[in-house]
Chain A
């Protein structure tokens, strides 16, 4: 079994990869003319750490039964996951520019049907954690070493379904389950705490029997450390509250809820890419 210590990706390398993914997010949503750049940029470092470091997955054997699973419950952050999977070798990065086009495998929300490298089709919020719980139960029943990682959005924490599923993960003491909250603080219409507050969120996870830590979701050393700790947690699932910045990496998108579901126009995309060291 390869573990995090054996991974070749260093925090610096992960940062470089994340920068490439952020450029893709801008290009993809610009070309598509729609999509969700804000929440894709906030989750990029978490997705990068998982796909390029933590997950035991193999692009040569995508259906390997013992692989780890990643469920992106906030399925609208599709551009981040698509870009990561493409650069990890699951499909040709040239396809990335077909996001949201008719006939493209890159659906607006992550899609297992059209892109099998995606473990679960999600999009309607609140359902991904339950699917992850089912996958973790399946692995335990089958005595497979697979671990299951689920990325949750913070607006999604307002959904009752999320808490049902979290309750089940805690009840079944799924220590092969890691729930990561992309806590960027914003949702479509504004701040989560103005709309329907979810704090104190870490205490809520603890009350649901999760071994819970709070980290800077843009610090690779902190992300890797939290994921590493999760591997040695027994008898409880893990929750990681990752404090992030919506629109991270593009100055004029940072902490602006307006960029939840709006693509950049040409001028904005060029400016964003200049900041990220890329071009259209």
Chain B
């Protein structure tokens, strides 16, 4: 396996915000008392007049963001995922999405990798909540370059968007070639396709490498653009590789796995398995051990891959 260097997605977000601020004097950024953690403080330091740290009022941060945006601005609003998608849900639904306000919600601390703060703060349902809102764009970057590209991409259109970032630094796996509505193929293969997002992408590549050593070639897709989803890439994968494994750090009932199952099931049914967090809340612990304990270990994903390959008749 190659040694990847790890980088902070949050740093990439904060730096990209400053870049955008340099470029567009109408951009405004809001935070709810977590600006050091979300890195919006970088923007706030450079552009204090265009930065509003509203304190602990996440739903109202969204309603204020909507009001600012309806005058024609691009507005970024950041906090942790559990507050952005959970606490503020109905404000995001009505004030942002129903009003078609140009508000870009960039949420950090998604998933189990929050670690020590525990299950109350480990948001595992945000993809479901945000993806089900009409008109909402949803992106889950797997590394820092994709984060930068995704932030630039969502800033370039008029309408709401949700980006989920991770607290932990993640390996740099891509060159940041991200486009909305396009899956990125990181590895070619014809025996199986692994579709992964966020922190699971590195583990997907690990599984593919292990399979390669046994003569099995797995295609690996980074599915950062959850909505719009690249259904063509999924159907191509189904047709060309005959089996799909999904990997996500999200409740497995309502995330990437169900998205892929729906697209493939209605378009080109093939055997499919889903690696995700079972229908549970998390708990405190070492972030990476939590992934292993909640069904997201590379070993478990590898077992699922072998199970699929058996169904396909690739192995006995």
Contact = CB atoms under 8 A, between A and B. Distances in A.
Nearest to A166: B60
A141 interface: yes
A130 B91 CA distance: 10
Interface string A107-134: 0000011000001111110111111111
**Interface size bucket, A side?**
20 to 34
Interface stretch (B48-56, B147-155, B169-177): B48-56
Interface of A is mostly: helix
A51 B182 CA distance: 47
B99 A121 contact: yes
A120 B94 CA distance: 10
Nearest to A169: B64
Interface in A61-87: 65, 71
B67 interface: yes
B312 interface: no
A121 B65 CA distance: 14
A139 B71 contact: yes
Given A113-B99, A127-B63, A161-B63, A122 B94 contact: yes
List 7 A-B pairs, minimum CB-CB distance, nearest first. Answer: A134-B67, A130-B63, A164-B60, A138-B71, A164-B57, A131-B67, A134-B64
B28 interface: yes
A130 B64 contact: yes
B90 interface: yes
A107 to B, nearest CB: 10
A15 B272 CA distance: 68
Given A113-B98, A138-B67, A164-B57, 4 more contacts: A124-B93, A130-B62, A130-B95, A137-B68
A168 B65 CA distance: 12
Contact of A134 (B49, B65, B90): B65
A120 B72 CA distance: 14
B73 to A, nearest CB: 6
8 contacts: A113-B99, A120-B70, A120-B95, A127-B91, A127-B95, A130-B67, A135-B71, A141-B50
Which among B50, B54, B100 has the greatest number of chain A C-beta atoms within 10 A?
Answer: B54
B91 to A, nearest CB: 6
B66 interface: yes
B85 to A, nearest CB: 17
Contact of A131 (B49, B54, B57, B63): B63
A165 B64 contact: yes
A121 B98 contact: yes
Nearest to B63: A130
B69 interface: yes
B64 A133 contact: yes
Interface in A158-190: 161, 164-165, 167-168, 172
Interface in B140-167: none
A102 interface: no
B55 to A, nearest CB: 8
Nearest to B99: A121
B94 A134 contact: no
B46 to A, nearest CB: 16
B79 to A, nearest CB: 14
Given A122-B94, A139-B71, A141-B49, A134 B63 contact: yes
A161 B94 contact: no
A200 B65 CA distance: 30
B63 A135 contact: no
Contacts of B68: 134-135, 137-138
A136 B66 CA distance: 12
B52 A131 contact: no
Given A123-B94, A141-B50, A134 B59 contact: no
A196 interface: no
A165 B59 CA distance: 9
A191 to B, nearest CB: 26
A266 to B, nearest CB: 34
Interface in B209-245: none
A123 to B, nearest CB: 7
B67 A132 contact: yes
B108 to A, nearest CB: 21
A137 B64 contact: yes
Interface in B168-221: none
Contacts of A124: 90, 93-94
Contact of A130 (B28, B49, B60): B60
B28 A141 contact: yes
Contact of B60 (A112, A123, A168): A168
A161 B28 contact: no
A118 to B, nearest CB: 10
Contacts of B52: 137, 172
Given A138-B68, A165-B60, A165-B64, A131 B95 contact: yes
B83 to A, nearest CB: 13
A135 B67 contact: yes
Nearest to A134: B67
